[in-house]
Amino acid sequence: MDSELSEFLEAAKEAAWLGGEILLEKLGTAAVREKGYADFVTEADLACQEAIVARLSDRFPAHRFLSEEGALAVRPQSVSHVWILDPLDGTTNYVHQIPFFSVSLALEIDGELAVGVILDPSLGELFWAAAGGGAFLNGRPIRASNCQALSDALVSIGLPARISRESVEIAVMTASAERCQSLRRTGSAALNLAYLAAGRHDLAWAFTTKPWDVAAGTILLREAGGVISAPDGSPLNLQQERVPYVAAASPELQTAFLNLIQPLLSRAAISGIADENG
């Protein structure tokens, strides 16, 4: 890893820990408002975003940000270095004091992911990766499980807060339950991908995610040997406003799951109403 990339990675780790401290300090006390149906924002989201942006801006004044809250939710144009931040992924869990939420932070350089970190402040687990440098959890190398059969796969699923019974999510969830080992709905898209990279889960999918939900997890998973794509098998496009994905521990498992769900995708529209944060 070159010195510049190493500097970016260390800055990302420090910023994530800073954000995690804020989230833990405000847990159970932060005021909450609802942006949409079951789509919450808290004082903690905003304080965490502000602190991380300020820390990174001081260190890298030419860098710009794409983040979930406020004016930063619009992708900046004509800049080489863009930090993609979800200051609190799993807000609904956080509001209910369920200790499964995260800080997710990635750096994109000229449109390519260079660095990604995901912090679970409740467990003190920091997942990180840099392009070409492998993936790590608290300093220990991690690898995806290499599970290849649907019947052996533990699947983490991402559902919006409200969906219709005819939605593609219900169809894909049913197919997953019928063909795979077991399902988990955690409420944090970033941690779903981190767990996949660490070999804890074998498959993951969500259809209403945004760039800040998946950017850090994407580079983490790739560096851990896993694969991720759009649900139709095309390359993931983080330039889009919505970034639906299917991810797997191995190419064989990815292919099997994509083949399973293609008929379902052709019959139903992706119908998420709220982001995958609860």
Each residue's pLDDT tens digit, 219-246: 999 999 999 999 999 999 999 999 999 9
Q: From 87, 120, 141, give the residue that closes a domain.
A: 141
Q: 58 with 178, same domain?
A: no
Q: 33 with 117, same domain?
A: yes
Q: 56 with 154, same domain?
A: no
Give a yes or no: residue 126 inside a domain: yes
Q: 115 with 154, same domain?
A: no
Residue 248's nearest CA partner among 207, 199, 191 is 199
The residue ranking higher by pLDDT, 156 or 96, is 156
Q: 95 with 175, same domain?
A: no
CA separation for the pair 232, 120 (Å, rounded)? 30
The residue ranking higher by pLDDT, 268 or 170, is 170
Average pLDDT of the residues in 165-184:
94
Which CATH number do you get for residue 15? 3.30.540.10
Average pLDDT of the residues in 191-214:
97
Q: What is the pLDDT of residue 271?
A: 44
Give a yes or no: residue 276 inside a domain: no
The residue ranking higher by pLDDT, 89 or 38, is 89
Q: 58 with 92, same domain?
A: yes
Q: From 102, 124, 141, give the residue that closes a domain.
A: 141
Q: 106 with 175, same domain?
A: no
Q: Band the pLDDT of 267: cuts 50, 70, 90.
A: low
Give a yes or no: residue 161 inside a domain: yes
Q: From 93, 114, 141, give the residue that closes a domain.
A: 141
Answer whether residue 268 shows pLDDT above 70: no
Which backbone phi and psi does 244 adopt, to 5 degrees?
A: -70, 150
**Please, which contacts does 173-176 make with residues 24 or more away whose CB atoms are closer than 8 Å?**
175/260, 175/261, 175/264, 176/203, 176/205
Q: 210 with 89, same domain?
A: no
C-alpha 72, offset from chain centre: 17
Which CATH number do you get for residue 239? 3.40.190.80
CA separation for the pair 249, 196 (Å, rounded)? 7
How many domains are contained in the chain?
A: 2
Per the structure, the complete domain to which residue 51 belongs is given by: 3-141
Q: What is the pLDDT of residue 119?
A: 99
Average pLDDT of the residues in 101-123:
98
Residue 244 neighbours by CB under 8 Å, 6+ apart: 206, 207, 208, 209, 230, 231, 270
Q: What is the maximal distance between C-alpha atoms in the chain?
A: 51
Q: What is the pTM of this model?
A: 0.92
